[in-house]
């Protein structure tokens, strides 16, 4: 009987579901502490606003750069000097040019989207050939077109550090070590324009006056600086695609997104 009771107790323990609560709590704690450590590194690291990494003199490469990792002796990245950061006025002019280009391109892409919808209706691929973009949908279309223009600028800035306005005024978007930022960073800084651009850019101007590196909120969040084109070292410029390639890629992204938006909303 004792053996039977022991066997039944062992079977009961084996059938009992494991207690996952401690494991889940440990996992949540690890994720929280990892995220907190990451935020501390960002706050006090190379991309914290106003606290760039130690300056790199011309002719010297930054520790841990791609050139040192590959064993090469030639420097690939150089630090940006604080005096090269551009103030509010030239950047506002560049943003005005970008806005003008966006307003000029929007009617063209919307027209193409309407033609695509009508063509789909004529071919009986969809049930309607008359896009209904007026009324409540017009606000949705306008909002999405604004986001698509920001995404297109992020693409051109990630390719060569330029937008149409920056290219016209000779400005470039770079990181602390003069490299072109990634698409994730350029997308963050462009989406932040929805906040920085309120009240004719008053928040951006106020933040740039406080920042020693003349960064608006988007630049601080993305770890970027806007400098003159001549401030980008020639060793970095020769590795970048031509400006027209970056703008063309951004325009292609903008056109594709705009047409997709019009078709999706109209249908």
Q: For residue 17, give its domain range.
A: 2-44
pLDDT of 139 reads: 84
Residue 132 falls inside a structural domain: yes
Task: Give the total number of structural domains in the chain.
Answer: 2
Same-domain check for residues 248 and 140: yes
pLDDT of 71 reads: 46
Same-domain check for residues 111 and 228: yes
Residue 252 falls inside a structural domain: yes
| Strand, coil or helix: 160 | helix
Residue 53 falls inside a structural domain: no
- As given in the structure block, the two tokens for residue 35 are 């995220």
pTM of the model: 0.70
pLDDT of 57 reads: 39
pLDDT of 28 reads: 52
């604004």: which residue's tokens?
A: 146
Centre a 10 Å sphere on the Cβ of residue 97 and count the other Cβ atoms it contains: 17
Per-residue pLDDT tens, the chain, 267 aa: give them.
555 555 555 554 444 444 445 555 565 555 545 544 444 444 444 344 444 444 443 334 444 444 444 444 444 556 788 889 999 999 999 999 999 999 999 999 999 988 988 888 788 776 655 556 666 778 888 999 999 999 999 999 999 999 999 999 999 999 988 899 999 999 999 999 999 999 889 999 999 999 999 999 999 999 999 999 999 988 888 889 999 999 999 999 999 999 999 888 877
DSSP letter (8 states) at residue 173: E
Query: Please, which residues bridge with residue 226 across strands?
Result: 173
Same-domain check for residues 141 and 189: yes
Give how far the C-alpha of residue 165 lies from the chain's centroid of Cα atoms, to the nearest Å: 17
State the DSSP string of 105-144.
HHHHHHHHHHHHHHHHHHTTSSS--S---STHHHHHHHHH
Same-domain check for residues 87 and 33: no
Residue 186 falls inside a structural domain: yes
Same-domain check for residues 257 and 196: yes
Same-domain check for residues 144 and 29: no
């401690």: which residue's tokens?
A: 22
pLDDT of 51 reads: 44
Same-domain check for residues 35 and 161: no
Residue 74 falls inside a structural domain: no
Taking Cα atoms as reference points, which of 225, 263, 186 lies closest to residue 87?
225
Residue 173 falls inside a structural domain: yes
DSSP letter (8 states) at residue 226: E
Residue 212 falls inside a structural domain: yes
């Amino acid at each position: 009987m004792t053996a039977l009771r022991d066997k039944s107790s062992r079977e009961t323990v084996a059938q009992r579901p494991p207690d996952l609560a401690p494991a889940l709590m440990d996992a949540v704690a690890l994720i929280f502490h990892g995220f907190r450590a990451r935020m501390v590194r960002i706050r006090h690291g190379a991309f914290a606003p106003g606290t760039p990494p130690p300056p790199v003199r011309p002719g010297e490469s930054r520790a841990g750069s791609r050139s040192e990792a590959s064993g090469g002796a030639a420097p690939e990245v150089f630090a940006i000097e604080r005096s090269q950061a551009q103030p509010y006025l030239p950047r506002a002019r560049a943003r005005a040019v970008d806005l003008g280009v966006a307003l000029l391109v929007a009617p063209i892409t919307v027209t193409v989207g309407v033609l695509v919808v009508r063509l789909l209706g004529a071919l009986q691929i969809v049930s309607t050939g008359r896009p209904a973009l007026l009324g409540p949908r017009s606000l949705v279309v306008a909002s999405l077109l604004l986001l698509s223009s920001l995404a297109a600028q992020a693409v051109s800035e990630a390719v060569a550090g330029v937008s149409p306005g920056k290219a016209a005024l000779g400005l470039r978007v770079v990181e602390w070590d003069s490299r072109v930022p990634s698409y994730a960073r350029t997308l963050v800084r462009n989406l932040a324009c929805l906040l920085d651009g309120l009240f004719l850019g008053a928040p951006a101007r106020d933040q740039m006056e406080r920042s020693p590196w003349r960064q608006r909120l988007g630049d601080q969040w993305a770890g970027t600086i806007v400098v003159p084109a001549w401030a980008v070292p020639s060793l970095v410029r020769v590795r970048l695609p031509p400006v027209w390639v970056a703008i063309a890629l951004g325009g292609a992204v903008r056109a594709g997104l705009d047409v997709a938006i019009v078709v999706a909303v109209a249908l």
